[in-house]
Chain A
Amino acid sequence: MRRVAIVGGGATRCGKREASWRDLVQEAGKAMFESVANLSPKDADSLIVGAAQPERFVFQAHVAPMVAEYLGISPRKVLARTELMCASGQAAIRYAWACVATGLSDVAVAFGVEKMFMPDMAEAQTNMTCVLDREWDGVNGLSAPPFFAMTAQRHMHEFGTTKEQMAQVSVKNHHYSSMNPFAQFQKEVSVEDVLKSLMISPPLQLLDCSGITDGAAGVIMVPADEARKYTDTPMYVIGSGQASIGNAVNNLASLTDWVPLRLAVEEAFRTANIALKDIDIAELHDCFTISEIIEYEAFGWCEKGKGGEFIEEGQPYIGAKVAVNPRGGLLGCGHPLGATAILQTVDILQQFRGQVPKGRLVEGAEVAVAHNLSGPANVHSIVVYSR
């Protein structure tokens, strides 16, 4: 296995964009290629595109060759699209990494894109209802907010987690996204704002939920020993882990104890040869405030059930125990499904390069993790990076 480096990356601004799916692809592709000297689209031999539901959001299938065409890439080694719903981009990164690591590819692009705003938003909501087992769970109206609402309800019931603690996750992530020009939401919010926001699916309110978002992003991977040809500041992929248990609600390990996340963390740490204390930046999948709370616990920064206290004590802020979502998270930046993991990765690269605004810069950061969950939190995907 070869060591793999990311030598550049670029992204669109996220949000409700006055742009088509194809516009987003081109905008992110240009930013990505222009971030790397001495490398043109023609040098890329492989392309993996993370895209969750282009068939339903923009009525387009076979999207990998379409992205290749728009970006001026003519793949001659590996071309594919990855779908793993909210972790589709993380799947693209893992496959591109595997392609370069095994020698199958020498220059691989991991790309992600989602256009989620539709003329009739009920249609977008409908799309999100086939993510869970549609015939047995989706049929009951179980899209993401109701499912995670019940997760939050059980966490409150079992461990005494409060709505105020959940709100504090949103406050933190909006604090950081207020300093991110790529973010969908660039305004700070208070605990009161969260608790007064529209009730979506109790106990989850609007500001407990990540947005519906348009966005795209891409990164370029090469063998580590060739990285210096392209940049003085490469970022290395040093490990990864992924685990999944069950799919239908009945077959999950637990609503509140994310066993597959603990397994993925274990595998990521083992392959990267790191320990929890080595992590300086954690880009965690805060699709809902409760998700980030359960993730503090599963990573091991606090005991099971104490995630609420962990945020209440300010532990996941920059300068405290670990910087969680200094990008602004999904809550602040939005969640364009296929693009989300790539957006996290581009931001980690910019963190390592000192290219993010000072208020959210994690100074001296050496190791970072990017994490995504997908579906009913049955799947967890993690990639570990170092400077």
Chain B
Amino acid sequence: MSNVEFDKVKRPETIKLPFMLDFYPLEDAKLTGISQFFTNLKEGHLTTTKCKKCSKLLWPPRIVCSNCLSNEFEWVDLGVEGELYAFTEMRVGAPLGFVEDVPFCIGIVKINDLLISSRIDNAKYDQLKIGDKLKLKIVKLEDGRVFYRFIGINEK
């Protein structure tokens, strides 16, 4: 053993959930050009942008049309009912923040001819089938942000 000095350094035992591990989008108008999407969602409406110039319905919502480069949009209500196009269940390998939810169902929902991926809540994998009717559900995060999910139409 040499006679150099040994010392300890401290690091925090816990840190606040860092932005880099936050899956949910930032929704404030100061942070995104599509904050209207979240405002609409808070009122119970799943919406997206439709280009006023070329009429293309875009998902995810945009501020510039990838079809014609226009930036004039209207917000279109997609309704509250969808159809299950494909589904699976997360059983192993969930990311941090979702580990506690395992197992949970994930699906692709056909709504207004869009294919939107979503958590499927209140559902058991074995009881779901392609073509099932689904209903929109909105979840609130502790900090007030919102996101959409779907549930089986026969479930409560």
Contact = CB atoms under 8 A, between A and B. Distances in A.
Contacts of A122: 94-96, 99
Interface in B66-98: 85-98
Interface of B: 21, 23-25, 59-60, 85-99, 101, 104, 106-108, 114-119, 125, 130, 147
A126 B20 CA distance: 10
Nearest to A56: B20
A16 interface: no
Given A150-B86, A248-B60, A125 B106 contact: no
A146 B96 contact: no
Contacts of B59: 136, 248, 250-251
Contacts of A142: 106, 117
A136 B59 CA distance: 9
Given A141-B94, A141-B98, 10 more contacts: A122-B95, A123-B96, A136-B25, A140-B117, A141-B101, A149-B88, A150-B107, A201-B88, A202-B88, A206-B92
A206 B93 CA distance: 11
A201 B118 CA distance: 15
A211 to B, nearest CB: 12
Size bracket of the A interface: 35 or more
Interface of A: 122-123, 125-126, 128-129, 133-143, 145-146, 149-151, 153-154, 157, 198-204, 206, 248-252, 255
Contacts of B85: 154
Contact of A137 (B90, B94, B117): B117
Contacts of B130: 153, 157
B19 to A, nearest CB: 12
B117 A125 contact: no
A141 B115 contact: no
Given A129-B23, A157-B130, A200 B106 contact: no
B93 A125 contact: yes
A118 to B, nearest CB: 11
Given A134-B23, A135-B25, A202-B125, A141 B90 contact: yes
Nearest to A247: B60
Contacts of A128: 93, 95
10 contacts: A135-B24, A140-B117, A145-B92, A145-B93, A150-B106, A199-B92, A201-B89, A201-B90, A249-B108, A249-B117
Nearest to B115: A250
Q: Which of A141, A145, A151, A255 has the most CB of B within 10 A?
A: A141
A62 B58 CA distance: 35
Contact of A139 (B24, B92, B94): B24
A203 B126 CA distance: 11
Contacts of A143: 93, 95
Contact of B119 (A126, A140, A151, A154): A140
A135 B96 CA distance: 15
Contacts of A141: 90, 94-95, 98, 101, 104, 106, 119
A109 B59 CA distance: 40
Nearest to B59: A250
Contacts of A199: 91-92
Given A141-B104, A143-B95, A248-B59, A202 B23 contact: no
Contacts of A138: 23
Contacts of B96: 122-123, 125-126
A134 B96 CA distance: 14
Contacts of B86: 150-151, 153-154, 255
A129 B95 contact: yes
Contacts of B117: 136-137, 140, 142, 249-250
A133 B60 CA distance: 10
A219 B106 CA distance: 40
B11 to A, nearest CB: 14
B88 A126 contact: no
A138 to B, nearest CB: 6
